[in-house]
Structure 1
Amino acid sequence: MGEATPAPVLSVSPVVLPAPGRAVDLRLRVSAPTTGGDLPIILLSHGQGHSNHLSSLNGYAPLVDHWAAHGFVVIQPTHLSSRTLDLGDNPDEPLHWRSRATDMTLVLDRLDAVEEAVPQLRGRLDRSRVAVAGHSMGGHTASLLLGARLTDRTGVVTLADPRIKAGVLLAAPGRGGDAVTEFVAEHYPFFLTMDFSEMSAPALVVAGDKDTSTHLTVAGPDWHADPFHLSPGPKTLLTVFDAEHGLGGISGYDVAETTDENPARVTAVARLTAAYLRGELYPGDTAWQDVASVLTTGPDAIGRVESK
């Protein structure tokens, strides 16, 4: 089938879902093509960067615009860890790691309310085709929803949602134990027990080969490939050449904190992730093979691919 022709995109925010028991109601951005029906859904979990607004429903426009233009409905929550909310940390759940995942479950529980808030979407969602994507800390959230587990004071925590059929992990955290820094072990101990052995849902793991993330890990760039190596298949690993933690600048247009700014790299990541998800959600679709053959082979390859 290959890549679809880009469509105009509509974006609506904030869509507010009442959330009793949550510190604040859940606020979303919903982006979608203006045309088409039976649209698959991507839940996008933001990271925890230095900027105030990228870690919210206002971030990741380079990915969101491309995904929506190519036939996906993208739903972006503002997690409780966002600087825009200024709630501070939760000593029992640093970085609000658990509520990040349950935010996504709430969205899937309340898709009727999302459609009601965005009348242009009524009757156009394909609820059988749902994917999750996340960058950095958002990759941790996506991992949990895809079946990864961790252990906290309550025991083993499992937050997988069977409604989610596939995922994309962008510069996601890897294993715990002696792979994380002393600072992370002290302040974010939930990273220590990350277990990918039951993360069986299909996923594309995207890792930059220059992403050292020294504030998080002592294992170097290979740490971000752990979700691929330490989980069961089916999985695909996209190693992006010369990419650092921002993967060229996926968190926003012209973001000053991007250390490896490269618009062509961002476009390639957007194309490859969209093609991967289309292939997983629509068996028989050839978009992944078509795009990967162009972007990951030959002298101008942006990265390399391996699968299991």
Structure 2
Amino acid sequence: MPRRPLTSVRHPLWRIAALLGLLWTLAACMSPPQWAMAALPSQVRPDDSFSTLDLAWQDPTRDRAVPARLYLPSSAQTAPVPLVIFSHGLGGSREGYSYIGRDLAAHGMASLHVQHVGSDRALWQGNRLTTALRLMQAAGDDEAVARVQDLRFALDQLLASDYARQIDASRIAAAGHSYGANTTLLISGAQVQRDGETLQFRDPRIKAAVLISSPPFYGEPDFSPILQPIRLPSLHITSTADVINVPGYHSEAIDRIKVFDAIGSTQKLLAVFKGGSHSMFTDRLNTGGAELNPMVKQATRELVRLFLQEQFHLPAQRMALTTWRDRHAAILDGLRQGESPTALMRP
């Protein structure tokens, strides 16, 4: 392949996004547009323990809007709270993964859900015949980089806003699902070699990572050189049916496990649920099975909270990992730990 500028969608950096397994959402174009639109969650209603704030930021250096939704605990009014910054999957929005954001906020952790306008729910709008093309363009190299820049910009804005005094800037984690998981990998320290150049987007403010259904780096036979530089504590969540199956691209659930194995940090935990689907971790209600879906969501939000409580040193309401495993044994296929687990991961 001829060498091209980084801004060209045909540059090999395309593999970071388009060939990461992010094209799973192309399957959506084979169904009515309601398939995607029905997945969008309704307006989140605030709870007494937290408030829900929609933010509309604009990055002037990139001429790019960066909308976000902040779930802010009421306890932040008296003492700064930890923060999780969340990146949605291809075709998602700031409204997504509300079951995680609400739960974290209800337990004393702020959750900032960033909307990536180049790969958000607007992809589902317009001519159905060109949906596939829009998705392909959204998975280009420019958008892969822009997503990481979105997270950095959102952090900059929040920590310079009136809400800054309510956020503990020393306790920040990144999280994401699918495309968002790969965005999280990049901001956590993943490094890609292209044309003799090391591409890396690590943000030192990120202290831990939550990776849900993280796709592999297609075209890369060995994940280790890419993911070994990630030394942050990480939580990985998947299922035995977390399969990406798109014409031209196929990825079995074992690929999520390969990502876990390749991560450099030994402080890591992998949870694998039985059955399900790649999209059941979104706010959609029936994917992966009408009965299984809510049970997996309950177990997922509990485990994310448990992991982050340990990372952020929040002992209140902490659930032991063994207790979590026993509670969800019926839907859990396996639980793996790193070689040098944190206190959270010890029985």
TM-score range, shorter chain: 0.7 to 0.9
1:165 counterpart SS class: strand
TM-score by length of 1: 0.79
Residue type of the alignment partner of 1:252? D
| Distance of 1:67 and 1:202 partners within structure 2 | 18
2:147 alignment partner in structure 1: 100
Contact persistence 2:224–2:262 (CA under 8 A): no
Contact persistence 1:148–1:195 (CA under 8 A): yes
1:307 alignment partner in structure 2: 337
For residues 143-177 of structure 1, the C-alpha deviation after alignment (integer angstroms, 9 at most, x for no partner) is: 11111122446832100111100010000112422
2:122 alignment partner in structure 1: 84
Mapping for residues 176-255 of structure 1, pairs under 5 Å: 176-177=218-219, 195-215=226-246, 218-232=250-264, 233-246=266-279, 249-252=280-283, 254=285
Contact persistence 2:271–2:334 (CA under 8 A): yes
Change (3 A) 1:134 1:223: same
Residue type of the alignment partner of 1:103? D
| Distance of 1:296 and 1:76 partners within structure 2 | 28
Change (3 A) 1:150 1:102: same
| Distance of 1:110 and 1:90 partners within structure 2 | 27
1:199 counterpart SS class: coil
How far off its partner does 1:217 sit? 5.2
Size of the alignment, in residue pairs?
275
How far off its partner does 1:16 sit? 2.1
Structure 2 unaligned blocks of 5 or more: 1-46, 127-133, 339-347
Greater CA drift, 156-165 or 231-240: 231-240
Q: Which of 52, 55, 58 pairs up with 2:95? A: 58
Contact persistence 1:206–1:225 (CA under 8 A): no
Contact persistence 1:12–1:29 (CA under 8 A): yes
1:111 alignment partner in structure 2: 158
Change (3 A) 1:93 1:270: same
1:44 alignment partner in structure 2: 86
1:145 alignment partner in structure 2: 187
| Distance of 1:264 and 1:226 partners within structure 2 | 25
1:162 counterpart SS class: coil
| Distance of 2:237 and 2:138 partners within structure 1 | 30
Residue type of the alignment partner of 1:268? A
2:260 counterpart SS class: helix
Q: Over aligned residues, Cα RMSD in angstroms? A: 3.0
2:298 alignment partner in structure 1: 267
Change (3 A) 1:230 1:63: same
| Distance of 1:102 and 1:178 partners within structure 2 | 24
Residue type of the alignment partner of 2:143? H
Change (3 A) 1:304 1:198: same
Which one has a bigger Cα radius of gyration?
A: 2
Identity, % of aligned positions: 23
How far off its partner does 1:194 sit? 8.2
1:18 counterpart SS class: strand
| Distance of 2:294 and 2:308 partners within structure 1 | 21
1:123 counterpart SS class: helix
Contact persistence 1:295–1:302 (CA under 8 A): no
How far off its partner does 1:296 sit? 1.6
Residue type of the alignment partner of 1:41? L
How far off its partner does 1:100 sit? 0.6
| Distance of 1:295 and 1:95 partners within structure 2 | 40
Greater CA drift, 234-243 or 86-95: 86-95
1:52 alignment partner in structure 2: none
1:133 counterpart SS class: strand
How far off its partner does 1:91 sit? 8.4
Change (3 A) 1:286 1:229: farther
Q: Which of 37, 44, 64 pairs up with 1:24? A: 64
How far off its partner does 1:293 sit? 1.4
For residues 194-232 of structure 1, the C-alpha deviation after alignment (integer angstroms, 9 at most, x for no partner) is: 821211111001111111212285451110122210122
